[in-house]
Structure 1
Amino acid sequence: MTHASHLLDLPHHDGSALHVPEGTPAVGDTVPVRLRVPQASGVRDVWLRSVRDGEPRLTPARHDGGTAGEDYYVADVVVHNPVTPYRFLLDAPGGYRWLDGRGVHDRDVPDAGSFRLTTHAPAPAWLADGPVYQIFPDRFARSGEASSRPVPDWAVPAAWDDEPAGDGVLAGTQLYGGDLDGIVAHLDHLADLGVGTVYLTPVFPGRSNHRYDASTFDRVDPLLGGDAAYARLARAVHARGMRLMGDITTNHTGEGHEWFARALADPSAPEHEMYVWAPPGGPDVATAPDGTGYAAWLGFGSLPKLDWSAPETWRRMVTGDGAPITRYLREPFGLDGWRVDVANMTGRWGSADRAHAVARELRAAVVGARPDGALVAEHFHDATADLQGDGWHANMNYTGFTRPAWSWLAVDGSPAGAHGLPVGAVRRPGHAMVATMREFDSAVPWTVTARQWNLLGSHDTPRLRTVVGSAEAAEVAATLLFTYPGTPVVFAGDEVGATGDNGEHARTTMAWDQGARGGGPRWDTATLDVYRRLSAVRRGSSALRGGGMRWAVVADDAVVFLRESTTERVLVVLARGPWEGAVLPHHLLAPGASPERLYGGLGLRVTTDGIVVPGDGPGVAVHRLA
């Protein structure tokens, strides 16, 4: 029988503790970095290529022992710049090769894929303690007080089991009445999932159910229970050892915001300088009733754009007394950090680009108010230039994780799988998924990759189950989520098999009544068990929480990778369907050990040829090898 070839004869390096000493270096430090060279690779000699002040330098690497299957080489990186790129030059039969974050190349490559050392501190360690659980407050749970609150004039009341509108005005005005005390009442569900961080989309008043059109940052929406309910939620979350992160819009406010109202009414008001004004008719420009033109998010007049060149914007948002960025990090709320909406557009307009300055200053403010605070960006596209370690701690990793995972597992032709594109989904082979993941991961420091918010869907996307079409494919996706480097993010409802064709339609309510009865059409108990078990496996594994990443097999219908820490090696097998199977080297196993199944139905066999990975599928396997 012919098996798929493996990649474990190729040299390997990543930014984990097996290869780079733990800790954040300072400018002037010398950092020894380790390269692992399988003896089957034929590599004869190794040099380190680092870049200092824009000029590449080559340094011989020194042999530093090894194992039965591979040799180790160590070379010193001089940290002369805040971000120092490096890669390895390999002398091998057939000519020299380069090793960078994208892999081994028998050609010259640009620096974009180089490994990076950064002097900037990483995201706080707690961000990786457990999965992040995203809640859209209007759709999670209603407390007993919810029905007594008056319905605002913009809202259309909906029954809890009504299907969410997927488009039109109703998509933003349907009000189901979920509130903050409703979340408190269901924290047991989160605890059972092993959740480490609770992330809520905005809680400030607005004129929509999503509340990204804030009318003030000074108080929590009374529809959610107000400030007192937010404080109760924070106490309840923290009492369980979880963290709580908020969501704030730094790119824009709502057109009903008190600041914008004053800015329109009086051009001499201090608020006037806080917004970007532009001639009507231009791209992304809206027009006020009096004919005034102003920049707006994608041209939507309900979301006027803030001007970060204005000192008043900095004062109101960040530095002043009561500024929301720091106020909600303090008691009685004590948020542990922020997810920043539309971070990619914040501070960017025309020839002005203050995005990096905004990110750095927001980070300084968050860490100043809360030393272990986290700052995570929303950036739907290529965020790599904004993630070099000095600004956002991490990003919602749509391009480096969500899209490639969908592309491999999506139902062919499903419009849901090509979210944001005017074409249907294409079911791509495994090598396309892996190439995309490696390309995006390689463009940022490992310390960022290790804390990226990886997700299979959010309040802005179709639901995973709709994208992949089956519970079996959803299990493959969830296994990838919980075993890949970074922080797994679960959008409330995915763990019980929620469906939805687009971001608005996917904002379904939680069917708590069906859960209490042991399941139902909107509460898949088998999928819930998958998420619980995978979360527990990740929690119990140092390799899965913080180890390195080494691709072992990449086939059309299956991928296999290793996660390795200084104390553990875990093998992950993901198959979307039947495939050739593979045989991996014996030396992956600890002497005298056998593979220990941690999760999944695919078993491994150890023969005289090696570790045999079966070609069954769809299915998954997570095994501890050492």
Structure 2
Amino acid sequence: MSSSSPSLARAPHHDGSVTYLGPVPTRPGGSVRLRVHVPAPGASRVRVRWGQDGEPRLRDLTPTPAFDGQWWTGELPLVNARTSYRFLIEGPDGARHRWLTAEGVSEREVSDRSDFVLDASDAAPDWVADQVAYQIFPDRFARSAAAADRELPDWAVPQAWDEPVVAAGGPVARQLYGGDLDGIAEHLDHLVDLGVTTLYLTPVFEGRSNHRYDAVSFDRVDPVLGGDDAYRRLIDAAHARGLRVLGDLTTNHTGSGHEWFRAAAADPTGVEAGFYLFDDQGYHCWLGHPSLPTLDYRGRELRERMYGRADSVVARWVDAGLDGWRIDVANMTGRQGGVDLTREVARGVREAMTRVNADTWLLAEHFFDASADLVGDGWHGVMDYAGASMPLWWWLAAPGARPHATVPLPIDPLPARDVVATMREVHARYPWAAVTASTVHLDSHDTARFRTLAGGGEHGGVDDGSSDSGLARARHLLGAGLQLTLPGVPALFAGDELGLTATTGEHARTPIPWDARETWDAATLDAYRELVALRREHPALRRGGLRWLSAGVDHLTFVREHPAGRVLVHAVRPRPDGAAPRDGEVRLPAAVLGGDAADAVTLRGEGLVRLDDGDEPVLALPGSVGAHLWLLPGDDLAWT
């Protein structure tokens, strides 16, 4: 049985990519050129509606011929710092009018919350769009010879490299495996071989746990990791190999052993006492953990020390060579009770970074809808759990999987059409520039390993993909295929490419088995290399727009569009019972992809089949499980 989704494939389309939007001014007062594509039978009139000074305005767009329909082009004034807009499409021949918003096409009145959004402010540095990131938890990646001679802190429970990681409770934060920064530097060739371009390290400041989110100082790198000198050696070694380096900073809290907090507790009248929230019950702390007292940004001195001065925490380490910061618990930073200073802190952090190096990236941790925080000149983007990770979990995780505390119920897999609706709804509220400067994760140090979510076991070691776990590998690699082809910066968690498993975020912090390479899942590693290479080779996968073409139960299909070429992506998930996917073979009108479908080049998976019988030529997409990719011409997308 075949299926198609004409409501998607033949829908008018616009997004914030270079295919549909000209350069956006960095300050209010200018305008931006934009266009919308309206497939056949076209439209009789198209207008852009935008908000200006709180009032809606309308302006006609001008039609020109385009592949399978018309381009409608015009200018959008950017009078305000933030501008929302949509398109009013009329006709042809007395057809009911339609609104095109970032969520799609509607024949009814819809909320302005679904409008496209533009910020007249500096976007992320241009290099960010081309990145593939690789996250490392320093204690668990690699251990240099020098690590054996270092004195261990009194809180640590030393572990042999092959001892199992505790999944929850007990010594979970105190297990110390001895990974260090020189060990990472010695294994950078693995990253280069994989094709990644940005190294993201979780905190390196001295703390009283293996995760170091409980810093005792922001002025020094933990001696257990090799100290400041090792950090600089690693940054230099990474840069020499063409890798960027992203640091990790807790702006929301410090550790209770932090020098600021100790000073505050010792002297209630001292300046540091204003850095924290004290009351008759004690002090405010992150999620009730007394080891993590929350910072209070209402006082000037804390802002100065964190990001205001030339020698501030943020600026100092950018000056030492970091290419940007990932901000821990960014969604909570500056928020306590009736106080909400999150956007002010974000703006201050970015200003501190750019004073030292304007070419730096500011990424925020955020598990939920981040639209209220992606305003103006603050965070460039977020860890996109809401718009990417969670929808992918709900489509690809095995029934009963539990990814993270933010998913309060075990997974009951959803059909692809619902997953796509979630992605579109979340991303409709973000400026396109923020979507593309956000990271796409299958997992991280805070979640279960994706291989386990896919059904690959819970032992905390490598799933080799054999016997019963073959289904898990198929789901995992399909997830990787989407992670490397959707908009945003793919962010791999070290060990995913080997097939590592784990049930919780703490459990996921598994030492990389360098001395047991024979256990690595070679098929998974090869697939990651292939997918990373495809992303790096094709501009459409890094900088192209996103147009959804079809979504059913077991398949979703989209095209990334760029004048340098289109990449068509067709993802088909396996069924738990091994039966054929329920949607069967998907067929799309050939014309909706522009160019000449006969020129399509198969990049991955099976080939396209063109069928010329019937009312119009169609493309038959394969029904076999996996991520199938094809390259099609994009020259008809160029602006005229």
Query: Residue 594 of structure 1 aligns with which residue?
Result: 599
Query: Residue 180 of structure 1 aligns with which residue?
Result: 181
| 1:25 positional shift | 4.9
Please say which of residues 495-504 and 16-25 is displaced more in the overlay: 16-25
Query: Residue 505 of structure 1 aligns with which residue?
Result: 507
Residue by residue over 1:475-494, the C-alpha shift from the partner in whole angstroms, topping out at 9 and shown as x without a partner, is: 11001001001110000011
Residue by residue over 1:212-235, the C-alpha shift from the partner in whole angstroms, topping out at 9 and shown as x without a partner, is: 000011110000000110010010
| 1:422 positional shift | 3.3
Find the partner of 1:553 among 550, 555, 564. Answer: 550
Query: Residue 638 of structure 2 aligns with which residue?
Result: none
State yes or no: 1:374 paired with 2:361: yes
> Are residues 17 and 226 of structure 1, via their aligned partners in 2, closer, same or farther at CA, if it must alter by over 3 Å?
same
1:61 & 1:589 partners in 2: Cα distance? 22
> Are residues 545 and 439 of structure 1, via their aligned partners in 2, closer, same or farther at CA, if it must alter by over 3 Å?
same
Write the mapping of 1:92-171 to structure 2, written as runs, cut at 5 A: 92=91, 95-171=96-172
Query: Residue 289 of structure 1 aligns with which residue?
Result: none
State yes or no: 1:429 paired with 2:415: yes
> Are residues 175 and 621 of structure 1, via their aligned partners in 2, closer, same or farther at CA, if it must alter by over 3 Å?
same
Query: Residue 306 of structure 1 aligns with which residue?
Result: 295
Query: Residue 63 of structure 1 aligns with which residue?
Result: 63
Secondary structure of the corresponding residue to residue 329 of structure 1: helix
| 1:136 positional shift | 0.2
Query: Residue 320 of structure 1 aligns with which residue?
Result: 309
| 1:381 positional shift | 1.3
State yes or no: 1:390 paired with 2:377: yes
1:399 & 1:36 partners in 2: Cα distance? 28
Query: Residue 613 of structure 1 aligns with which residue?
Result: 620
* TM-score normalised by the chain length of structure 1: 0.94
| 1:24 positional shift | 3.2
CA contact (8 A) 1:11 1:35 kept: yes
1:262 & 1:320 partners in 2: Cα distance? 20
Please say which of residues 346-355 and 85-94 is displaced more in the overlay: 85-94
Measured on the aligned residues, the alpha-carbon RMSD in Å equals: 1.5
Query: Residue 477 of structure 1 aligns with which residue?
Result: 479
Query: Residue 466 of structure 2 aligns with which residue?
Result: none
CA contact (8 A) 2:590 2:619 kept: no
Query: Residue 214 of structure 2 aligns with which residue?
Result: 213
Aligned AA (2:586): A
2:597 & 2:2 partners in 1: Cα distance? 28
| 1:44 positional shift | 2.9
* TM-score normalised by the chain length of structure 2: 0.92
Query: Residue 458 of structure 2 aligns with which residue?
Result: none
1:49 & 1:564 partners in 2: Cα distance? 24
Query: Residue 541 of structure 1 aligns with which residue?
Result: 538
CA contact (8 A) 2:24 2:120 kept: no
CA contact (8 A) 2:35 2:74 kept: yes
Please say which of residues 118-127 and 536-545 is displaced more in the overlay: 118-127
2:332 & 2:5 partners in 1: Cα distance? 43
Aligned-residue sequence identity (percent) comes to 47
CA contact (8 A) 1:4 1:580 kept: no
Secondary structure of the corresponding residue to residue 415 of structure 1: coil
Query: Residue 582 of structure 1 aligns with which residue?
Result: 586
| 1:582 positional shift | 1.8
1:593 & 1:238 partners in 2: Cα distance? 42
Find the partner of 2:567 among 560, 570, 581. Answer: 570
Residue by residue over 1:290-309, the C-alpha shift from the partner in whole angstroms, topping out at 9 and shown as x without a partner, is: xxx11100111000011101
Query: Residue 403 of structure 1 aligns with which residue?
Result: 390
Secondary structure of the corresponding residue to residue 262 of structure 2: helix
Residue by residue over 1:21-65, the C-alpha shift from the partner in whole angstroms, topping out at 9 and shown as x without a partner, is: 13435322122210100014x533211111101111122222123
> Are residues 25 and 34 of structure 1, via their aligned partners in 2, closer, same or farther at CA, if it must alter by over 3 Å?
farther
Write the mapping of 1:218-297 to structure 2, written as runs, cut at 5 A: 218-280=219-281, 293-297=282-286
Secondary structure of the corresponding residue to residue 135 of structure 2: strand
Secondary structure of the corresponding residue to residue 145 of structure 1: helix
| 1:450 positional shift | 1.4
CA contact (8 A) 1:137 1:200 kept: yes
Aligned AA (1:127): V
1:266 & 1:79 partners in 2: Cα distance? 51
| 1:268 positional shift | 1.8
Query: Residue 196 of structure 2 aligns with which residue?
Result: 195
CA contact (8 A) 1:9 1:38 kept: yes
Aligned AA (2:444): S
2:542 & 2:621 partners in 1: Cα distance? 26
2:259 & 2:245 partners in 1: Cα distance? 27
Aligned AA (1:307): D
Residue ranges of structure 1 left out of the alignment (5+ in a row): 281-292
Secondary structure of the corresponding residue to residue 476 of structure 1: helix
| 1:116 positional shift | 1.8
CA contact (8 A) 2:610 2:620 kept: no
| 1:117 positional shift | 2.2
Residue by residue over 1:266-304, the C-alpha shift from the partner in whole angstroms, topping out at 9 and shown as x without a partner, is: 112211111112331xxxxxxxxxxxx111001110000
2:61 & 2:406 partners in 1: Cα distance? 46
Residue by residue over 1:183-212, the C-alpha shift from the partner in whole angstroms, topping out at 9 and shown as x without a partner, is: 001000000111111010000111100000
Query: Residue 74 of structure 1 aligns with which residue?
Result: 73
Query: Residue 436 of structure 2 aligns with which residue?
Result: 450
Query: Residue 290 of structure 1 aligns with which residue?
Result: none
| 1:94 positional shift | 5.1
Secondary structure of the corresponding residue to residue 529 of structure 1: helix
CA contact (8 A) 2:24 2:31 kept: no
Aligned AA (1:218): D
Residue by residue over 1:77-134, the C-alpha shift from the partner in whole angstroms, topping out at 9 and shown as x without a partner, is: 1111011110011224552221000000111111111112221111112222231100
2:618 & 2:238 partners in 1: Cα distance? 44
2:493 & 2:198 partners in 1: Cα distance? 12
| 1:321 positional shift | 5.4
| 1:541 positional shift | 0.4
- Matched residue count: 603
CA contact (8 A) 1:419 1:462 kept: no
1:13 & 1:337 partners in 2: Cα distance? 31
Aligned AA (2:371): T
